[in-house]
Amino acid sequence: MSARLPANGECEKSSIFATPRIGVFRAMVIIKRLYSYMLQRFLPLFAMTFFICLFIVMMQFLWKSIDDLVGKGLEVSVIAELFFYAALTMVPMALPLAVLLASLMVFGNLGEKFELTAMKASGISLFRIMKPLTIFMVLVAIAAFFFQNNVLPVAQTKMWTLLFSVRQKSPEVEIPERSFYGDIPNMQLYVQGKNAETGMLYGMMIYDFSRGQENSRVILADSGRFDFTEDRTRLFLHLHSGELFENMQNTGMGTDNSRYLPFRREQFDDKQIYFPFNANFNRVDEGGLRSQYIGQNVAQLRHSIDSIGRRVDSIGNVYAADLLATEYFGLSPTVNRMENGEITRVRRPQVALAEPLPVDSLFQAPNPGYAKSYIQQALNRARRQKQEYVYRSLALAEQGKLMRRHDIEMQKKFTLSFACIIFFFIGAPLGAIIKKGGLGTPLIISVLLFIVYFIIDNAGYKMARDGKTDVWLGIWLSSFALLPLGVFFTFKAVGDSAVFNIDAYKAFFRHIAGREEKRSLSVKEVRMNTVDAARGMELLDAVDAAADALSLRVKGMSPLRRRLQRAADPALTAAVASAVEYLADSDDKRLVAALNGYPFRPGSRHLTAVGAATAAIRERLQKTANRHTPQ
Distance from C-alpha of 612 to C-alpha of 540, rounded to nearest angstrom = 12
Q: Which residues of the chain have pLDDT under 50?
A: 1-22, 253-255, 257-258, 631
| Phi, psi of 265, deg, nearest 5 | -120, 135
Instruction: Express each pLDDT in 2-37 by its tens digit.
Output: 444 444 444 434 444 444 444 666 767 777 888 888
Statement: the pTM of the whole predicted model exceeds 0.85: no
Q: What is the pLDDT of residue 71?
A: 61
Distance from C-alpha of 75 to C-alpha of 395, rounded to nearest angstrom = 42
Residue ending a domain, choose from 218, 242, 276: 276
- Has residue 311 been placed in a domain? no
Strands (E), 289-401: 334-339, 342-347
Distance from C-alpha of 269 to C-alpha of 289, rounded to nearest angstrom = 52
Beta-ladder partners of 218: 207, 245
Q: What is the spatial order of strands in the sheet that 180-181 belongs to?
A: 180-181, 187-194, 201-208, 217-228, 234-247, 263-276
User: The domain containing residue 213 runs over which residues?
Assistant: 180-276
DSSP string over 179-222: SEE--STTEEEEEEEE-TTT--EEEEEEEE-TT-STT-EEEEEE
- Has residue 302 been placed in a domain? no
**CB of 283 closer than 8 Å to CB of 161:** yes
Secondary structure, 3-state, 138-172: HHHHHHHHHHHHHHHHHHHHHHHHHHHHHHHCCCC
- DSSP state, residue 364: G
Residue ending a domain, choose from 244, 276, 308: 276
For CA atoms 152, 154, 155, 161, the dihedral sign is positive
Secondary structure, 3-state, 511-538: HHCCCCCCCCCCCCCCCCCCCCHHHHHH
Q: What is the pLDDT of residue 278?
A: 59
81: enclosing H helix or E strand: helix 76-89
Neighbours of 383 (CB within 10 A): 10
- Has residue 555 been placed in a domain? yes
Distance from C-alpha of 153 to C-alpha of 413, rounded to nearest angstrom = 10
- Has residue 317 been placed in a domain? no
Q: What is the pLDDT of residue 138?
A: 93
Q: Cβ neighbours of residue 553 under 8 Å, at least 6 residues apart?
A: none
Closest to 420 in 3D by CA, of 91, 40, 35, 60: 91
Distance from C-alpha of 251 to C-alpha of 263, rounded to nearest angstrom = 10
Residue ending a domain, choose from 236, 261, 276: 276
Q: What is the pLDDT of residue 421?
A: 93
- Has residue 201 been placed in a domain? yes
Q: What is the pLDDT of residue 2?
A: 44
- Has residue 408 been placed in a domain? no
**Within a 13 Å sphere around the CA of 585, how many CA atoms are in the beta-carbon half?**
14
**CB of 150 closer than 8 Å to CB of 297:** yes
- Has residue 172 been placed in a domain? no
Instruction: Express each pLDDT in 375-386 by its tens digit.
Output: 788 888 888 888
- Has residue 575 been placed in a domain? yes
Overall domain count for the chain: 2
Q: What is the pLDDT of residue 365?
A: 61
Instruction: Express each pLDDT in 122-174 by its tens digit.
Output: 788 888 888 899 999 999 999 999 999 999 988 888 888 887 777 656 555 56
